[in-house]
Amino acid sequence: VLPFPSQVIYNRVGKCGSRTVVLLLRILSEKHGFNLVTSDIHNKTRLTQNEQMELIKNISTAEQPYLFTRHVHFLNFSRFGGDQPVYINIIRDPVNRFLSNYFFRRFGDWRGEQNHMIRTPKMRQEERYLDINVCILENYPECSNPKLFYIIPYFCGQHPRCREPGEWALERAKLHVNENFLLVGILEELEDVLLLLERFLPHYFKDVLSIYKNPVQRKLGNLTGTVKKTVPSPEAIQILYQRMRYEYEFYYYVKEQFHLLKRKFGLKSHMGKPSPRPEFFIPSPLETEEPINDEEEDDKKWLENIYKR
């Protein structure tokens, strides 16, 4: 039995920094000798029962230790008689994630604008250049639910109700975060996410922050930034916020848990001074960065309990 989790899944949420993290994982897998299992399927997150069984079988038989990564909604291995792996993930502010995806589908990133033509060859020109404000204010399908209900299903899972915006999916997603995820970080504090991953999963992430800060790696990471992004009007953003209220409740829940975890391990943030939060954002429920004392369990025991889940 390996003295660390030998099965890790990063069910990467779209437009939440996952391409940067995968670039890092490719370097780390060669450096530390773990099996990085990636998928070429990027547009099928919801699976039939047979597809779930087949994917779980393929993942479970991979050479260990492995880290599997794919855009896919949470899979319950124990439902099909398998050992539940350790899950990790990263999310970001829902409106910012939506805007990044909206313009990425149309214009790609700095690696080459021609890539967007390959990615969306059937998109009509009037759709490609559709003004973001028109899309939101006139309630185009791409800018309304269920399209906007995007992050929660990655944690809620494969149940049909996970695709329906509402309390049921929200609470199920929170439950899975608590019971199945070693860490869910937020992209706005990526350096702190990497620091915690290095601490919790050193066999996979040792030296990840120094690699991330390497100028060559930074240059490669910058190429994945979406181009031609514009900011919607305040009225349009307010409408988006209302439509994404469940996404924001989940985002701030995850952010609070992440900050509690940072405090638990006495981690000082590497972020600069935060920018003023626009009026339409709800206030963060946790602002303090002071370490806390936990009398009930020490750090090592806490990690062991996570690994046993």
Domain count, the chain: 1
Q: Is residue 216 part of a domain?
A: yes
Residues identified as active-site: 71
Distance separating alpha carbons of residues 165 and 155, to the nearest angstrom: 13
List per-residue pLDDT tens for the chain, 309 residues long: 456 789 999 999 999 999 999 999 999 999 999 999 999 888 899 999 999 999 999 999 999 999 999 999 999 999 998 889 999 999 999 999 999 999 888 887 655 545 555 567 788 888 888 999 999 999 999 999 999 999 999 999 999 999 999 999 999 999 999 999 999 999 999 999 999 999 999 999 999 999 999 887 766 655 556 657 788 999 999 999 999 999 999 999 999 999 999 999 888 755 544 444 444 444 333 333 333 333 444 555 655 655 554
Q: Is residue 129 part of a domain?
A: yes
Distance separating alpha carbons of residues 133 and 236, to the nearest angstrom: 6
CA 194 centroid distance within chain: 13
Q: Is residue 301 part of a domain?
A: no
What CATH number did the domain enclosing 231 receive? 3.40.50.300
Distance separating alpha carbons of residues 271 and 259, to the nearest angstrom: 13
Distance separating alpha carbons of residues 230 and 133, to the nearest angstrom: 10
* Domain with 200 in it: 7-268
CB 170 within 8 A of CB 250: yes
Q: Is residue 2 part of a domain?
A: no
Any residues with CB less than 8 A from the CB of 6 and at least 6 apart, and which?
64, 65, 66
Q: Is residue 249 part of a domain?
A: yes
Q: Is residue 219 part of a domain?
A: yes
Distance separating alpha carbons of residues 13 and 73, to the nearest angstrom: 9
Q: Is residue 274 part of a domain?
A: no
Q: Is residue 297 part of a domain?
A: no
